[in-house]
A and B are shown apart, each in its own frame.
Chain A
Amino acid sequence: ETGVTQSPTHLIKTRGQQVTLRCSSQSGHNTVSWYQQALGQGPQFIFQYYREEENGRGNFPPRFSGLQFPNYSSELNVNALELDDSALYLCASSSGLAGGPEYNEQFFGPGTRLTVL
């Protein structure tokens, strides 16, 4: 069984640029969530996708957007990068919706370390 994978592992961008981060779900999982983890902080929920539809969003501006594909892999796109966007971006996959009959808890990938200069 393949776990959650993320690419790239590290990335350096400059302010104002755009970035796309990628996530492959664990086999059999149809739900993907994205988190931003600043240094010394807990992860902050960005959004969740279930079967290609957004299923919940945290307090992040619209320049943070996402996609989920038919194979349940996902992308996180961030436009107009700011210095404060420097963080570890974590992807997690799970099955179904929280509270639903097929739900199981999330498994996290190792993250993408984004540095904005």
Chain B
Amino acid sequence: GQQLNQSPQSMFIQEGEDVSMNCTSSSIFNTWLWYKQDPGEGPVLLIALYKAGELTSNGRLTAQFGITRKDSFLNISASIPSDVGIYFCAGESGGSNYKLTFGKGTLLTVNP
């Protein structure tokens, strides 16, 4: 099935460092979403972006909806050990013909 191009695939960083990950698509989306998934759990929504060019923050997280509507990035500032997990981007389209397409994920490891 289709998945978005998400990079990097994995990151290993020191506590306190900033992190950046991004997602690209060949398709246009109405909404870009960023999720975090911990082992044994479902994804949890971090940030939702609804307009091209929109820049949104949620605490130490900042995400942007690309102008072309085909890309998005997520930044995490001053990482802490509990940031460990898998981060997924997702592009949403529809209304009456709904689809949510996920990236393959970025595995983040934070070394205390």
Identify the A interface with B (CB < 8 A): 4, 33, 35, 40-45, 48, 50, 55-56, 58-60, 90, 92, 97-100, 105-111
Contact = CB atoms under 8 A, between A and B. Distances in A.
A109 B42 contact: yes
Interface stretch (B14-22, B55-63, B68-76, B95-103): B95-103
B98 A42 contact: no
A109 B3 CA distance: 21
A37 to B, nearest CB: 9
Contacts of A105: 33, 45, 48
A98 B95 CA distance: 5
Contacts of A92: 42
A56 B43 CA distance: 20
Interface of B: 1-4, 6, 30-31, 33, 40-45, 48, 88, 90, 92-105
A53 B93 CA distance: 18
Contacts of B31: 98
16 contacts: A35-B102, A40-B104, A41-B104, A41-B105, A42-B102, A42-B103, A42-B104, A43-B88, A55-B96, A56-B97, A90-B42, A105-B33, A105-B48, A106-B45, A109-B42, A110-B41
A45 B93 CA distance: 12
Closest 10 CB pairs of A and B: A108-B42, A56-B98, A42-B102, A44-B1, A48-B98, A99-B95, A56-B97, A43-B102, A45-B100, A59-B1
